[in-house]
Structure 1
Amino acid sequence: MASDVPVHPPVGVVRPVTARELPAEDHWPSGPTRYEVKADGWRAVAGVIEEHRPVLFSRQGGVLADMFPEILVELARLPIGTVLDGELCALVGERLDFNALARRRSRDRRRWPPVVYLVFDCLAITGADLRQRPLQERLDHLGELLPSQPSVLQPVPATTRRNEALTWYDELRPHGLEGCVAKGMGTSYVPGRTRWLKIKHVDTVDAQIVAVVGSPARPTHLVVRLPDGNLAPTAQLETVQGSAVGRELADSIGEPVPGGGHRLTRPLVAEIEIGATRHRTLRFVRLRLDLGT
């Protein structure tokens, strides 16, 4: 029944704002602070819609289902109407490897790394939209939904103790921890920028690649559109970065532009580190293939 599925993915997601330090345990008047591991992966909204069909979307609304069939198998075990928010992560050895996720785009499944979906919120259950409910209530439902046995669906590691979260932040970076996210247990789920906070080892932004400079096969710089709308060149790419970018952009090279570069024919997104100096140097970190089209 349609009433069993009150929320249809894709949906807008909450995006915590960057903070310099983790807030106190009593930062939110509506409830204690929950500190979550910020894993290095692809943000994804999962759900089970009519006819018990599992779906999986990127935060931009792109369909991810074909790349993560084992996630769909586990989602199909959940009740109709379930909608979850979490992070898709690739497991390489004992660490999470963001770059390995791109191998899931290959048709050769032998190249696919194992993955896990770390779930941190429950947006809906059968017949009920939970987004306006307190986080604690949503987490209670999540605990009832996720399997108790080992599974590719797992709750994200979390604590209400600030000292423990700071220990994770300092010690787990080699294992693929990108930072920590802090949320108030009494807060609702409001898409877009929110009062939730995040601290990261490196402060980065997602920027659209507008053009490449140098050889299309091995560009030396990228021209990106920053979130404020301004265009700017990145610092020189490392040789390995240039080769990797060239391979991914091979079918996206458009008309030449003055200065020896080329425009792109389709939108692609790069993660960019913005320097804190007066000249605000932009450093290319990696492609965000989960955010492109």
Structure 2
Amino acid sequence: MFVKYCTTLFAGIWLLFIADIAHAQQPLPDKIAANKAKDWQTYRQASIADSKMAVYFRALTSSELEAINSAKSNGQSKANSKLIEIKSELTVESSIAGFLLFLQDYDKIPNWLDNANGSQLIEQITPSHNIFRIQFSAIWPVSPREMLIESRYWQDRQGNVHIKVEDASDHYTSHKNHIAISIIKAHWLIEPLPNDKLYIQYRVIANANGKMPSWLANKVALRSSWRTLKNINQQLPNSDWQYQKLANILEYQELIQEPTSGTNEQTKDIMPSNNAELN
């Protein structure tokens, strides 16, 4: 009798877990032809007051998957045909410096990054070049995850800010009982707009590793991307960082007053020599 009760309870918890993941979202195709998919598919989009947000996804091509698997490090799971790229977009009221400092407020990352329960700065190489870790809660039966991240930002000649995000798990050890998420490719684009607004885009390809099924990892990643956008939209405009400035960043009003030719000295100082690879 006890065994039957435990079996029923186990099945019930599992069904509730799956139902929560699938709740209130656009259906994700069970099968995506990775060698044919090229166009972005809409996961979810909405307009809230003056803000607009959307999350898109696409399957990777066969050549992309082949390149990923040939370059993967030891301990990383092989990427299969169900691996997706996610693109999140948000138009929100904020200064450029306000958003960059919001991202670098490591103690508060769990307030807006869905399912994160901890974040620590490992090393600050320069004010615009940091290495840090983010830990994610375990959702039974999935083991807790973490990301080891190296990020670097700069402002281009048009005034847009780029954040290059790279996997740092080859150089730093994951916490015990945590599985490191492999960041295959990730990039923030921050474009200043009139009326104190920003267009923010984040594109990421990541592998959850471990034994987590791809269909489940994709569902969780898409749901988390949407919730994270909503959290940023709610918290960023009211952040105390909106009142701060960064010496190496020009805001929209400063940009439109700058000469159209050439690059200001502040921007030159933070443009990496290999920025072409992120175009």
Category of TM-score, reference length = shorter chain = under 0.3
Structure with a larger share of its residues in helix: 2
Output the TM-score relative to the length of structure 1.
0.25
Output the TM-score relative to the length of structure 2.
0.26
